[in-house]
Amino acid sequence: MKEFFNGAFTLNGVNIGYGDLGEVAYSLVKEGDPYEQEIGDFLLDWVSDREDIRMKTSGSTGAPGVIHMPKKTMVHSALATGKYLGLEEGTRALLCLPARSIAGKMMLVRALVLGWKLVLKSPDSDPLRGLLRPVDFAAMVPMQLEASLKNKEKISTILVGGAPLSRALLSRIPEDGISVYESYGMTETASHIALRKLCKVPEGKSPESVLPPFQVLPGVEISKDDRGCLLIKAPYLPEKTVATNDLVALETDDTFRWLGRADHVVNSGGVKLIPEQLEEKLSALILQPFFLAGMPDETLGEKLVLMVEGMRDESLLQKIKESSLVDRYEVPREIRFLKTFTQTPSGKVNRRETLRNSHTAIEQ
């Protein structure tokens, strides 16, 4: 990947030539903290003669597994992101995500290809804490974004992804002084293929009535399959067409709105319900973490079940029925309360395992 290396690249303030990357990587692996060892492992892979990088997938396009992502695909993705966000050579960027993830790997590739001044920091929940000099850009997960808002003067642009953004967090997006972009993508597409700039969502407003749709990066083409799921094409992707399980509404040739997962759809008595859309409606009423899912039912085939994390509220079902947030057939048949939800290694709620761990319920 020497032909794509930008000599302006620096790591923690030190200018490093391509020929020195292997030595630096080896030093990180042997002497660094665990997060630095992951960075070293990736850099060793990057300067090796192999043409691809081995990565684990989370199951966005099918069952979780391992793929071999061409390095040239990652380079083209990095160039597209830099162009879209105007992040040129000399950008001071913060790597605060683990390098074992596609998001962390792509931060490294962007820095190497675009010639950024990369600052390394342990991937903790408050990445801007203790930062001595402001940075231009960082990629974060929602938990990190939430903690970083109190130090927004230390950063210009944040790219957030990896998990849904809560309504509470969307209501705190600054209206000036910082730009926050939400990403859409997956390991199979070398991180994101679409972005949208976030703005503050006032209480009582539906996020999708305020926020713009996702806009694809330069060179990306989108369409839908017969299920209504997103199809992605880009000349730099190894697969001719990436088929997802994400239900979307196409607004223009290059913009779309994410509706939910096809494998989450609940067919209740012939009525197809998309949990993520109903979750957006109910988030105005339910302040605790929650999600909706389907469970087998002898009469309906599947019944809609509301899972809530935290304190039990015996009146919640009645509150939902009396609200105007959902239609009659969208009211959950059961509510189940759990002390804590089961999470995936990446920090997302594991809906299937959480359902298995639930027992007591409030029924209609």
| Per-residue pLDDT tens digits of the chain, which is 364 residues long | 889 999 999 999 999 999 999 999 999 999 999 999 999 999 999 999 999 999 887 654 455 678 899 999 999 999 999 999 999 999 999 999 999 999 999 999 999 999 999 999 999 999 999 999 999 999 999 999 999 999 999 999 999 998 888 888 999 999 888 999 999 999 899 999 999 999 999 887 888 889 999 999 989 999 999 999 999 999 999 888 999 999 999 999 999 999 999 999 999 988 999 999 999 889 888 888 899 999 998 889 999 999 999 888 999 999 999 998 899 999 999 999 998 998 876 667 888 888 888 765 565 5
CA distance 52 to 65: 16
What's the CA gap between 223 and 256, in Å, rounded?
Answer: 9
Three-state secondary-structure class, residue 319: helix
Residue 5: its pLDDT value, please?
96
Residue 183 CA from chain centroid, whole number: 6
Q: What is the pLDDT of residue 181?
A: 97
* Euclidean distance between CA atoms 357 and 9, whole angstroms: 48
pTM to 2 decimal places? 0.87
* Domain residue ranges of the chain, discontinuous segments joined by +: 2-219, 265-363
CATH level 2 (architecture), domain 265-363: 2-Layer Sandwich (3.30)
In CATH, which superfamily holds the domain spanning 2-219?
ANL, N-terminal domain (3.40.50.12780)
pLDDT value of position 65: 74
DSSP label of 285: T
What is the pLDDT, as a whole number, of residue 359?
65
Packing angle, helices 102-114 and 71-85, rounded to 10: 70
Structure confidence at residue 69 (pLDDT) = 93
CA 323 to CA 151: how far, in whole Å? 38
> In the chain, how many H helices and how many E strands?
10, 21
